[in-house]
Amino acid sequence: MTTLRELVTERAASSPHRCFLADARSERSFDFAMLRAAADAWCRELDAAGVPPGARVLIDVDDPLAFCAVHLAVIAAGRCSAPVDPAAPPVEAERLRRALRPWLVVSDRVAIPSMQVNPATGLPADPAAHVQSTPLRTGVLSDRRTGSAALLTSGSTGTPKTIVLIERQLLHAARRVVDHHKLSATDRGFNPLPLFHINAQVVALLATLLAGGTLVLDRRFHRTGFWQLLVERGITWVNAVPAILSILALENIPTVPSTLRFIRSASAPLPAAAREQVVARSGVAVVESYGMTEAASQITVTPLRGGHPPGSVGRPAGVELEVVGPDGRRCAPDVVGRVRIRGESVISAYAGGMAVERFDAAGWLDTGDLGRLDADGYLYLAGRRDDVVNCGGELVHPAEVEEVLLGEAAVAEAAVAERPHEVLGAVPVAWIRPVQALDGEQADELVSRLRLRCEQQLSRAKRPVEFRIVASLPRTPTGKVLRRRLRELLLADMRCLKASPL
């Protein structure tokens, strides 16, 4: 099968009444025959409305079943899906509308605020009405753009860039997930991750469609009743992020479903302690992966069985990967350098000609990440290049410092960001979320232990000059720590100190 349209048609023909999508918080479900009906309805109505092939359809839908139905139907109909965060404030939705210039907006908001849309005539009242609670609204826009993309989105790190992925790339990446995870029609996945992000779209949604299985969708992760929900739904695998696993590592596990094969972690490095605790308490395998939107999700992944070296995010899966030094030559094993990738699922350029310096003539994309490969080909990430702290000429990789901090049993999460320094240029500051709330004296004791640990295990430049005990860390919707926000807070504090009278 070469297209999503063919895949949807085949699934509807072979297993029309098999459940494809199910809502975790209700009895609503969506079978393959219903998916085919939604795809056919959208194709007819988009044609009738004069929306040309390749035209962008902005999808601003919060209901998970409705989002999946529309997203897949739009791509199957030969148009370009442009999903946005349904929780974003109206002003951000308007900014994205102006940037993406779609032909059509689909939304389940009470209204489509600030979008200046005209009422659409002839568009489907709601081909997915049977799977959602709020009616979908559509609007045709006058300022619009067409193209050959199947998906238009943006990454979650660094400066926002528009990323164009074609249908073949999406299906190729999803097939690699199916092959590695051994997914089949008997699998029932659980996804509490945001659907507007590439991880959920490819790893959960498309991979499940390719395998012919079932995907249970939740709007967000709920720690209360999590394991019982997996038991009741017969879940065989979970699509998660490190923030979820860090919570599960601290929870008592009442009942582990006998059906559960593995929990998958993606989007950010997983602390080794959290992984070990989840595995020890549940007896379930934890698969770690590394990916990015520019590669249509998965780049590397750890083995499904047999374990892997601690700290590694696995080996390349369907993508070529190398680590290079400043001269562009491949680094020796265990030498940190720039991570580059290329392959069928990897983009060759950003929309609008942005960041052309990240691509070379041989098709390699500089990911912006730093890492090292061991002699067996396992990748170990050292952080984003933009996150490196240049302390007096010595490069401090936050991941290395965070690993030392996470070795303290009382630390649940740690993040390191730079603070400007008049002499050294920059110095590292550590943000610590403890396992449990601490009073002032307890917090001081923890900081003292962390200082001693850093003195024993890190060179002077790598030791944080300050430790901040916090209740939470700022994160993206997919769980990545927003170091940029941490740096902004440090800069704001410095400005306040300078402005304070003596």
Which band of pLDDT confidence, cut at 50, 70 and 90, is reported for residue 135? very low
**According to the 3-state scheme, what is the secondary structure of 50-68?**
CCCCCCEEEEECCCHHHHH
* pLDDT of amino acid 142: 46
Specify the CATH class of 4-148 in words.
alpha beta
Q: Look at residue 145 and tell me whether its pLDDT is greater than 60.
A: no
Question: Higher model confidence: residue 5 or residue 137?
Answer: 5
For the CA atoms of 420, 422, 426, 431, what is the dihedral angle to 10 degrees?
-50
- The continuous run of DSSP H or E covering 265 comes out as strand 262-265
Q: Look at residue 420 and tell me whether its pLDDT is greater than 90.
A: no
Residue ranges of the chain assigned to CATH 3.40.50.12780: 167-385
Task: Supply the pTM of this predicted model.
Answer: 0.81
Question: Higher model confidence: residue 12 or residue 91?
Answer: 12
CA angle 345, 349, 353 (to 5 degrees): 160
The pair of three-digit structure tokens given for residue 160, joined into one six-digit string: 């926002």
Q: Look at residue 126 and tell me whether its pLDDT is greater than 80.
A: no
Residue 340 bridge partners (DSSP): 322, 366
Percent of the chain with pLDDT over 90: 53
Which band of pLDDT confidence, cut at 50, 70 and 90, is reported for residue 360? very high
Tens-place pLDDT, residues 306-327: 778 888 999 999 999 999 999 9
- The continuous run of DSSP H or E covering 134 comes out as none
Q: Look at residue 107 and tell me whether its pLDDT is greater than 90.
A: no
Q: Look at residue 219 and tell me whether its pLDDT is greater than 80.
A: yes
Mean pLDDT for the stretch of residues 284-291: 95
The pair of three-digit structure tokens given for residue 224, joined into one six-digit string: 């209360």
Cα–Cα distance for residue pair 113/130, rounded to 1 Å: 25
Q: Look at residue 61 and tell me whether its pLDDT is greater than 80.
A: yes
Q: Look at residue 376 and tell me whether its pLDDT is greater than 80.
A: yes
Question: Higher model confidence: residue 341 or residue 50?
Answer: 341
Q: Look at residue 496 and tell me whether its pLDDT is greater than 50.
A: yes
Q: For 70-74, 79-83, 217-221, 493-497, which range has the lowest pLDDT when averaged over its residues?
A: 493-497
Question: Higher model confidence: residue 323 or residue 159?
Answer: 323
Mean pLDDT for the stretch of residues 210-217: 98
Mean pLDDT for the stretch of residues 232-249: 92
Cα–Cα distance for residue pair 295/366, rounded to 1 Å: 11
38 touches 76 (CB < 8 A): no
Q: Look at residue 149 and tell me whether its pLDDT is greater than 80.
A: no
Cα–Cα distance for residue pair 330/372, rounded to 1 Å: 10
CA quadruple 219, 64, 105, 147: dihedral positive or negative?
positive
Q: Look at residue 251 and tell me whether its pLDDT is greater than 50.
A: yes
Question: Higher model confidence: residue 112 or residue 168?
Answer: 168
Cα–Cα distance for residue pair 241/267, rounded to 1 Å: 6
Q: Look at residue 140 and tell me whether its pLDDT is greater than 60.
A: no
Q: Look at residue 128 and tell me whether its pLDDT is greater than 70.
A: no
- Per DSSP, the three-state class of 262 is strand
* pLDDT of amino acid 146: 53
* pLDDT of amino acid 410: 92
Q: For 151-165, 225-239, 275-289, 321-335, which range has the lowest pLDDT when averaged over its residues?
A: 151-165
Distances (CA, A) of 350 to 28, 98, 154, 190: 38, 18, 10, 32
Q: Look at residue 66 and tell me whether its pLDDT is greater than 80.
A: yes
| Buried b / exposed e along 410-448 (16+ C-beta atoms within 10 A) | ebbbbbbbbbeeeeeebbbbbbbbbeeebeeeebeebbe
Residue ranges of the chain assigned to CATH 3.40.50.980: 4-148
Tens-place pLDDT, residues 324-335: 999 999 999 999
Tens-place pLDDT, residues 23-54: 999 999 999 999 999 888 888 878 887 888 88
Which band of pLDDT confidence, cut at 50, 70 and 90, is reported for residue 148? low
Q: Look at residue 501 and tell me whether its pLDDT is greater than 50.
A: no
> Strands 19-23 and 104-107: what pairing?
unpaired
* pLDDT of amino acid 225: 93
Q: Look at residue 386 and tell me whether its pLDDT is greater than 90.
A: no
Please classify residue 187 by burial: count the beta carbons closer than 10 Å to its beta carbon, then call 0-12 exposed, 13-18 middle and 19+ buried: buried
Q: 456: phi > 0 → left, psi -120 to 50 → alpha, else beta; which?
A: alpha
Residues 6+ apart with CB under 8 A from 194: 85, 200, 477, 478
Pick the closest to residue 292 from 398, 202, 182 (CA basis). 202
Residue ranges of the chain assigned to CATH 3.30.300.30: 388-499
- For helices 32-48 and 4-14, the axis angle rounded to 10 degrees is 140
* pLDDT of amino acid 236: 98
* pLDDT of amino acid 171: 96
Q: Look at residue 114 and tell me whether its pLDDT is greater than 50.
A: no
Specify the CATH class of 167-385 in words.
alpha beta
Residue whose entry in the numeric block shows the structure tokens 């209740």 = 471
Mean pLDDT for the stretch of residues 235-263: 91
Pick the closest to residue 209 from 405, 459, 11 (CA basis). 11
Mean pLDDT for the stretch of residues 257-278: 89
Residues 6+ apart with CB under 8 A from 200: 191, 193, 194, 239
Helix, strand, coil share of the chain (percent; to 5): 35, 25, 40
* Domain covering 388-499, topology: GMP Synthetase; Chain A, domain 3 (3.30.300)
Cα–Cα distance for residue pair 136/125, rounded to 1 Å: 8
